[in-house]
Structure 1
Amino acid sequence: MSNTKRTLKQFCNVALIEGISMVVLVAFSVLKRTTDYEWAVLGVTYVGWAHGLLFIAYVYLLWMCADRYKWKFRRVVLFFVASLIPFAPFFVEKQLRREQ
């Protein structure tokens, strides 16, 4: 597998995992604010930390794919905004898998 295809595959995988981490983080955040569960606070802390790292990986791989595939600015902005909206990274991942 070439480096270019490997980068796109990594971006797809990170988009999926980043989307899952955002949904889990939102769930822990709601639990933290609506319950007295101590583990909800820990969930926000650790899932938030992991989600932050995944977000950085997502943005880095987005930049790498944009450079290698010469994506239009509009697409890059759309994919970046998708990283900020719960469930939207799943659509990014699905779109990229269709294109592979």
Structure 2
Amino acid sequence: MDIKTASALHRLRLISVPEALSFPALLIFGSLLSRISDIDYLMMPLGVLHGILFVIYTLFLLDVWNKAKWPVKRVALFFVLALLPFGGLYGDRLLKRDESDSVIAARARQAAEA
């Protein structure tokens, strides 16, 4: 795996956790807060923040698809995980495993060359 692919995977990992937590933490909390109080003005900024995180996640996912040459099924899995509350946490775990596998493979290649 080259450095551009590894950095694209790392960026996707970095955004997957905040995106996964933004739906339940921001939107559900904001919705409950607006229902039990008169604070309706929080929903708009919280929704915008969640939307921005989702768009960034989608752009990073497309970047990984382009650089890592993932099959469409895998990209679709990560997209569906982004739609589910806490789904990005599972996606982060899959990406972490991919990252560690690539490090192991790189070390094995270095050992074979030496």
Q: How would you bin the TM-score normalised by the shorter chain?
A: 0.7 to 0.9
1:7 maps to which residue?
A: 8
Matches within 5 A, 1:10-89: 10-24=11-25, 25-32=27-34, 34-38=35-39, 41-89=40-88
Q: Return the letter of the residue paired with 1:26.
A: I
User: Could you state the TM-score of these two structures normalised by the residue count of structure 2?
Assistant: 0.77
CA RMSD of aligned residues (A): 1.6
Kindly provide the CA deviation profile for residues 20-77 of structure 1, in whole angstroms up to 9, marking residues without a partner as x. 1111122222332x31241xx3332222111111111111111110111111111111
Distance change >3 Å, CA 42–CA 98, structure 1 → 2: farther
User: Could you state the TM-score of these two structures normalised by the residue count of structure 1?
Assistant: 0.86
1:91 maps to which residue?
A: 90
What are the ranges of 5 or more consecutive residues in structure 2 without an aligned counterpart? 100-114
Please identify the structure whose Cα radius of gyration is greater: 2
The whole-number CA distance in structure 2 between the counterparts of 1:75 and 1:96 is: 11
Q: Return the letter of the residue paired with 1:23.
A: P
What are the ranges of 5 or more consecutive residues in structure 1 without an aligned counterpart? none
The whole-number CA distance in structure 2 between the counterparts of 1:75 and 1:42 is: 38
The whole-number CA distance in structure 2 between the counterparts of 1:46 and 1:10 is: 24
The whole-number CA distance in structure 2 between the counterparts of 1:4 and 1:73 is: 17
SS state at 1:81 partner: helix
Give percent identity, aligned residues only.
28
